[in-house]
Structure 1
Amino acid sequence: MPDLQPAPPAAGPASASRTASGAAPARRPRVLLAMQPDIAPRLLDADTLARLTALADLDPALVVDDFSTPAAAAALREAEVIVSCWGCPPLDATVLAAAPRLRAVIHAAGSVKHHITEACWERGIEVTSAAWANALPVAEYTVAAVLSANKRLLQLRSDYRRLRAPHDWQAGYAGAGNYRRTVGIVGASRIGRRVLDLLRPYDLHLLLHDPYVDAAEAALLGARSVPLDELCAAADVVSVHAPELPATHHMIDARRLALMPDGATLVNTSRGSLIDQDALVAELTTGRLNAVLDVTVPEVLPPDSPLYDLPNVVLTPHVAGSLGGELHRMAAAAADELARWTVGLPFAHPVGPGDIDRSA
């Protein structure tokens, strides 16, 4: 449940008269669901849907991914809040002109880059995202990948299938395991910080590269701040958690891949463009490196991509984030934010224009 303690008023409903406790009386704003229609029933479990309809004037049967249809246009004219998820159309100046009462967008997913436009900031639309909730499963996926990579799980599986007989595994895997191995985290993003936090209990050496994090802050995160080249050269596992920006395009290029030790593993759950994929495939084909890739360029890879079949690659279809029942956490987060907004409290997880360049 949201923390409904008194706080400075947010724009929009905060102008309502306030109660003695400091919070404005709860009101039922008009809310429109904007996302792919097939996402809504997977996202909104019965409890969260009941909560949303109690908090707001909401038609759960109306889920729009096109604002130009007559039903969507009529709902947009009255909407004060949009609850969005994957597939929400861009909220550009034309759409906002057709939504004169719109004051807030609550995104029940991660990045808002695909639908929040400059026109939203110019209009003063309040924006919040469940990126924090979506970060949790990504971090969990990453930690599983790191621990499995150091245990050399893929190679063990392959060798055991091939041999099918007694074998001296200790001799063959003398370098395996997670004790005092080095893990390099690229990017102290929300996900990167959560990964560091989850890895702290293990007997690992943690390195961090982030140009905006100094040595003192890195130490507080449990890591040692190093340049990217040093991280690549030292780490048994390199995990990428930086945003997709022009400055990060191919930040892990052929030269930095060549710096990685033989047998090292590259984990990418951020965006495929951060890795020079052709250079990575060349390294992986030789068997020198391993990879766990949840994102690629393009998504989906063509059927003849070698990444599907290489034995030293774990390839997943961009599912490290919320999947299955994990979607319900994002929906619950959106309901929490709506509850705050209806009593005039600021969003707990606001997104501003300055946040866009630091997000995936």
Structure 2
Amino acid sequence: MHRDLVGRLFDDRTLARLAELADLDPARVLDDFTTQEAVTSLAEVEVIVSSWGCPPIDDAVLAAAPRLRAVVHAAGSIKHHITDACWRRGIRVTSAAWANALPVAEYTVAAVLLANKQLLRIREDYRSRRAPYDWQSGYRGAGNYRRTVGIVGASRIGRRVIELLRPHDLDLLLHDPYVDAVEAARLGARAVGLDELCAASDTVSIHAPELPDTLHLIDRRRLALMRDGATLINTSRGALVDQGALERELASGRLDAVLDVTVPEVLPADSPLYDLPNVVLTPHIAGSLGGELHRMAAAAVDELARYAGGRPFAHPVLAEDVHRTA
């Protein structure tokens, strides 16, 4: 992982527990598998505990690590470092993606509830008026009662968002090609096509993975289907949205947006998204931030404890699922 990440990822208690479970040198943190230090370590290692910044574990790394049996990833996606060579070797892999999903879902739910309250529009209106006004008459369509929220993707995050929104008086729609009507109903949503979801929802929230099939999933045509005043929330990947088309809709004032991801990250300094009053723009921080990193580390150590005890991982990553996950 990144060398400076360990102190932010592991608190003292979790690091101490890790040291109890494994023969560990906590000062040996690798961000390059080609150094002599790395080669020496790999010769003995049985488990790699990885996180953001881990280099690819390819054939050359595996050749240098004859005893390697498992990779415990204290972060979300494993696509940056788990290669086909790992699957061929039969390396067991687990990820803390479920732990990283929790703060993303919390961010999303907060954004949904505030969007339906028309927070951005009312804030700008209040800032402009600076005087008494009949807000009840002016914003009759605001509020969360019987509003429609569309969830694109029944991923870990999408499912957690649905779970957290269920107690509210909302109509929850779900589009996911791998989820049928019965499964959607069990989750607490109604399965619909993506066009219907875009057209019917007051808020559309994206939770699908970035895949060749999902590039510009929300394109110009689907943005045009969205209701006037609707809000698009994207905490997934920027490439799932046609950003040029979205910028035009936002500049017109027809739609609002909460964007935690863009193309590129970071946006150019002259991007209009920084200044539009109907946009909340954040720098990919919906996932684990600050103290939330400790949850991912604790999750990784829990998995290492299962491995040390001869038990299967609670959150394994399977080769056959990688093609349709983030």
Structure 1 length normalisation: TM-score?
Answer: 0.90
**Partner residue of 1:304?**
270
- List structure 1 segments (4+ residues) > 2 angstroms apart after TM superposition: none
CA displacement 1:104-150 (0-9 Å, x = unmatched): 00000000000000000000000000000000000000000000100
Instruction: Give 1:55 deviation, angstroms.
Output: 0.5
Instruction: Give 1:310 deviation, angstroms.
Output: 0.7
**Partner residue of 1:3?**
none
Q: Give the whole-Å Cα distance in 2 for the aligned partners of 1:289 and 1:228.
A: 18
**Partner residue of 1:236?**
202
Q: Give the whole-Å Cα distance in 1 for the aligned partners of 2:172 and 2:229.
A: 18
Q: 1:164 aligns with which of 115, 130, 133?
A: 130
Indicate yes or no: 2:184 matched with 1:184. Answer: no
Instruction: Give 1:70 deviation, angstroms.
Output: 1.4
SS at match of 2:150: strand
SS at match of 1:62: coil
**Partner residue of 1:77?**
43
CA displacement 1:27-79 (0-9 Å, x = unmatched): xxxxxxxx001111100000000000011011111111101111122111111
CA displacement 1:74-117 (0-9 Å, x = unmatched): 11111100000000000011111111111000000000000000
**Residues paired across the two proteins, number:** 326
**Partner residue of 1:144?**
110
Once the two structures are overlaid, the 10-residue window that deviates more, 124-133 or 162-171, is 162-171
Q: Conserved in 2, the CA contact under 8 Å of 1:243 and 1:357?
A: no
SS at match of 1:161: helix
Q: Conserved in 2, the CA contact under 8 Å of 1:133 and 1:333?
A: yes
| Greater relative contact order structure (CA < 8 Å, 6+ sep) | 1
Q: Which amino acid aligns with 1:231?
A: L
Q: Give the whole-Å Cα distance in 1 for the aligned partners of 2:213 and 2:219.
A: 13
Q: Conserved in 2, the CA contact under 8 Å of 1:152 and 1:176?
A: yes
SS at match of 2:56: coil
Instruction: Give 1:154 deviation, angstroms.
Output: 1.2
**Partner residue of 2:219?**
253
**Partner residue of 1:196?**
162
Give the 5 Å matches for 1:1-360: 35-360=1-326
Instruction: Give 1:305 deviation, angstroms.
Output: 0.8
Q: Which amino acid aligns with 1:138?
A: V
Q: Conserved in 2, the CA contact under 8 Å of 1:109 and 1:129?
A: yes
Instruction: Give 1:358 deviation, angstroms.
Output: 2.2
Instruction: Give 1:172 deviation, angstroms.
Output: 1.2
Instruction: Give 1:230 deviation, angstroms.
Output: 0.3
Q: Give the whole-Å Cα distance in 1 for the aligned partners of 2:189 and 2:318.
A: 28
Q: Give the whole-Å Cα distance in 2 for the aligned partners of 1:358 and 1:271.
A: 14
Identity percentage of aligned residues:
76
Instruction: Give 1:238 deviation, angstroms.
Output: 0.3
Q: Give the whole-Å Cα distance in 2 for the aligned partners of 1:140 and 1:316.
A: 15
Q: Conserved in 2, the CA contact under 8 Å of 1:218 and 1:225?
A: yes
Q: Which amino acid aligns with 1:182?
A: T
SS at match of 1:42: helix
Q: Which amino acid aligns with 2:234?
A: N
Q: Give the whole-Å Cα distance in 1 for the aligned partners of 2:65 and 2:273.
A: 45
CA displacement 1:201-230 (0-9 Å, x = unmatched): 000000000111111111111111000000
Gaps of 5+ in 1: 1-34
* Cα-Cα RMSD: 0.7
Q: Give the whole-Å Cα distance in 2 for the aligned partners of 1:307 and 1:62.
A: 42
Q: Which amino acid aligns with 1:201?
A: P
